Amino acid sequence: MMDFECKFIDVLFRNSVYFLDEAIGYINLGVTEKRNMVLSVVNMQLAMELALKASLADNFGLRKILVKKQADLSDEELECLFEQNNLKIKGYDSLKNFTKTSEGNIEAYNFERTEYEYMERFEKYRNQILHSSYVFSDEECSQMEKDLIHVFVHILGILMSDRTDYEYRKFVQEYLNQNEYSKILDNPLYFQELQNFLQEEYDKLYECPHCHARTVTPYKFCASCLTDFNISEDIYAFVKCGWCGEKMVICDALNIENNDNYTRGLCLNCGEDTTVYKCPKCSGFVNAELFDTANCHEDFCKWDI
């Protein structure tokens, strides 16, 4: 991918983040007030349009989203158009419909009928609001907060998340204004949708010892408070749980040596606590309450031959 393509995609993505931040801000203010509802809807749709363009260009190349007249140009001609702010992108409907095709609805998206209904509904809202007028029904008003959060989590959460590597995946929440994001975290509708999303994405979730939400992925990243417990073995360590058998007992690896190489650990799966031992010779961590004499324990290192 050419350097100018990467820059163009990045601008689309960053602009999408700006509009999404605004949408979340108005949701936090309360969409029962008409002004907040209208502004959150318009900003959410603008974020969705830009995110779709950025994602398609990233997955299929810049030419896939450009109008045909420009898609056939050389790299040098496209770079010149980019520098002149003259790149022309296909309409939202065309791009949205592309993702419905066998070529476009790749595993990274895997959108279903429900998601397309939300895309089309919010497009209708945005077009009517900006080009004419739109009178929201009582039912639409009462459902709007839930609908906005669904679009945020299940559509933008897909388009704006890096899903190429699940272990080191970045979630859209990591790019957002953290002040506004911290507020929406307290919204029970958002929390429920986030859990629904994660349950669809991962086979199992674990409880976060920081925010106490069951939103820690199998790769030891909390998609709620955004804490990465896998960031360094110098900070956190994990050992096998003697109760449920999963290697999800977390402990403080930073200060364990100050306590004669022992500390307490908590299983993020079943909630049981245990004692963790750090071998001073090999620096390995073990569950001391498994009483496994073949593993490291006091005065014995399994690697010390």
Angle at 135 between CA 127 and CA 147, to 5 degrees: 70
pLDDT at 136: 96
Reading the block at residue 190, the tokens are 């958002």
Give the span between the Cα atoms of 108 and 221, in whole angstroms: 19
137 Cα distance to chain centroid: 32
Q: Above 70 in pLDDT, residue 305?
A: no
Mean pLDDT on 149-154 = 97
**What average pLDDT score do residues 205-212 get?**
95
**Terminal CA-to-CA distance of the chain, rounded, Å?**
51
Q: What is the pTM of this model?
A: 0.90
* Confidence tier at 164 by pLDDT (50, 70, 90): low
Instruction: Give the ranges where the chain is alpha helix by DSSP (H).
Output: 3-29, 34-60, 68-71, 75-83, 92-98, 113-131, 138-150, 157-159, 178-184, 188-201
| Span 3-45, pLDDT tens digits | 999 999 999 999 999 999 999 999 999 999 999 999 999 999 9
Q: Above 70 in pLDDT, residue 163? A: no
Taking residues 193-211, report their average pLDDT. 93
The two tokens of residue 50 are: 């830009």
Asked if 168 and 8 count as a contact pair (C-beta separation under 8 A), the reply is: no
Residue 257: helix, strand or coil by DSSP? helix
Examine the pLDDT at 165 and tell me if it is beyond 70.
no
d(CA 78, CA 71): 8
- Each residue's pLDDT tens digit, 100-127: 998 998 888 889 999 999 999 999 999 9
